[in-house]
Amino acid sequence: MNGSRVLVLNSGSSSVKYQLLDMADGTRLASGLVERIGEGPVADHAAALKQVAEELARQDLGLDSPELAAVGHRVVHGGTRFTEPALITDEVVEEIEKLIPLAPLHNPANVTGIKVARELRPDLPQVAVFDTAFHSTMPESAARYAVDVDTADRFGVRRYGFHGTSHAYVSRATAALLDRDVSEVNTIVLHLGNGASASAVRGGVCVDTSMGLTPLEGLVMGTRSGDLDAAAIFHLSRVGGMSIDEIDTLLNKRSGLLGLCGDNDMREIGRRMGEGDAEAQLAFDIYIHRLRKYVGAYTAVLGRVDAIAFTAGVGENSAAVREAAMRGLTAFGVEVDAVRNALRGSGARLISTENSRVAVAVVPTDEELEIASQTFDLVSD
C-alpha cells in the first residue's frame, strides 16, 4: 500500500455523505453530501456514488488516484458478529446482509454503498466500521434484557448500542484533553445530537450505553421517545387500535422533543422557552430529567467518574442543556464554571471549575476521522 488517503462513506437510506482524509497529517481534502436519492436526478445509490466519484475527480482527487489507500464504510449494525472493523470480502457483505432484520432502515443502504464502491474500485481495500462495535465490550449484565433467554437468543434481542465510533473517539479525546492515558480515565460520554445516547466508559472500554437493540432506547431524542414501558406498545395496539408499523413511526419519528412540543431543534426550543412557552419548557425539562438519570446511573456503574464529556449538535452547542444537566451535582463532585460553559469555542475544552473533582468537557465528535483512522489502521497492518 502506497497512499495515505481514506475515503469515508456514510450511505443512508436517501443520502450519501463522504469525506476524503489524508491520514499522513489528518487533513480533510474533500467532503460533501448527495441527497434525495431516488427522488429525482439521483436515481439510486449507484448514481449517488458515481456523483461522489465525479465530484472528487473534478478536484483531482478521483477514486483512481494512487494516493487512495482504502474506503471506510460506516455500517450501523454489526450484531454480535462484528466487534471490530472488518476488511470487506464477499463473506463479510453476506454477514452484514444477514443483520438487516436488526437494522432494516440502515444496513440495506450501507450494504448498497459497499457493493457500488466495490464495483467502482474492485482492487481497493474496503473496510466496514460498525456503530455497535465499541459497545461489544459491555458485560452480559449490561447487555442482556431480563427476557426469557431462549427467546432473546433466538431473535438476537439484547442491547447492542449505537454511535459507537463517536463514543470511542470522544472518550479518547477527553483523556487527551486531560493529558492522561485513556486506560486511567473513567468517562461518561453524552452524545446529544438529533439522535442521542450516553455511555459509561471505564479506562477506554465501554461498560454500558443507553441505546439498546435499536437506537430507540435511552435518552429523549429529537424525534425518538427513548425509554418507555414496553407495555405502552401493547396498550396502543389493543386500546388505540394502532398497527405495529404505526407505533414504530410514532415512537421513532413523532416522539421525543418533536412529539412533546412540535420542534426537534434545540435552538428553536430555547427561543420558545425565552418567550415563556410552557410546552417547550416542559419538553426541555423532560429531556434534562432523563439525561440526569443516566448521569446518576452511570456514576453508580463506574463507581469513580473522572470526566463527563458533552458532544454532538446539542452537546457541543447548547450551554443551556449542559448547565441544566449538571446543575446541583456538587455531591457527585461536579461543578460547572458558568463563564467557561457560556464561551463558544471550536475545539475540545473544559467547562468545569478548577475545584471540580469531575472534569466536565465539551469535546467535538469526529466520526469520519474515527472511521478513517480505524480503516487506515486495518489496511496498514
Give the residue with the Cβ less far from ligand AMP, 126 or 318: 318
Positions that interact with ligand AMP (CB under 6 A): 193-194, 222, 264-267, 312-314, 317-318
3-class state of residue 242 by DSSP:
coil
| Torsions phi, psi for 370 (to 5 deg) | -65, -45
The nearest distance, CB 96 to ligand AMP, in angstroms, is 24
- Report in angstroms how near the CB of residue 1 gets to ligand AMP at its nearest: 33
Alpha carbon 58 to chain centroid distance? Answer: 31
Gap between the terminal Cα atoms of the chain: 10
Comparison of 22 and 368: residue with beta carbon closer to ligand AMP: 368
Of 22, 131, 208, 366, the active-site residue reads 131
Which CB, 289 or 357, lies closer to ligand AMP? Answer: 289
Distance of closest approach, residue 308 Cβ to ligand AMP, in angstroms: 18
Neighbouring CB atoms inside 10 A of 50's CB total 16
**Relative orientation angle of helices 45-58 and 107-120, to the nearest 10 degrees:** 50
And the C-alpha cell for 128? 466496514
Q: Is the dihedral of CA 147, 166, 364, 177 positive or negative?
A: positive
For residue 262, count other CB atoms closer than 10 A to its CB. Answer: 13
Between 45 and 224, whose beta carbon lies closer to ligand AMP? 224
Name which of 170 and 302 has its Cβ closer to ligand AMP.
170
Q: Determine whether 83 is exposed, middle or buried from the number of CB atoms within 10 Å of its CB (0-12, 13-18, 19+).
A: middle
Using a CB cutoff of 8 Å and minimum separation of 24, what contacts does 364-367 make? 364/311, 364/316, 365/166, 365/169, 365/170, 365/191, 365/311, 365/312, 365/316, 366/169, 367/10, 367/74, 367/165, 367/166, 367/169
The grid coordinates listed for 297 are 446511573
Sign of CA dihedral 296, 298, 301, 303: negative
Q: What angle do CA 210, 342, 359 make, to 5 degrees?
A: 50
Active site residue 229: no
**Which CB sits closer to ligand AMP, 14 or 317?**
317
Instruction: Quote the least distance from Cβ 254 to ligand AMP, whole Å.
Output: 16
Q: What is the DSSP letter of 175?
A: H
Cell of 285: 425539562
Q: Could you please report the per-residue DSSP string of 273-311?
A: HHTT-HHHHHHHHHHHHHHHHHHHHHHHHHSS--EEEEE
CB of 354 to ligand AMP, least distance (A): 27
Residue 161 or residue 193: which is nearer to ligand AMP going by CB? 193
Give 132's contacts (C-beta < 8 A, 6+ positions apart). Answer: 76, 77, 78, 79, 82, 160, 161, 162, 164
CB of 260 to ligand AMP, least distance (A): 13
> Least separation, in Å, of the C-beta of 99 and ligand AMP?
23
The residue of the chain with the least Cβ separation from ligand AMP equals 313
Catalytic residue numbers read 131
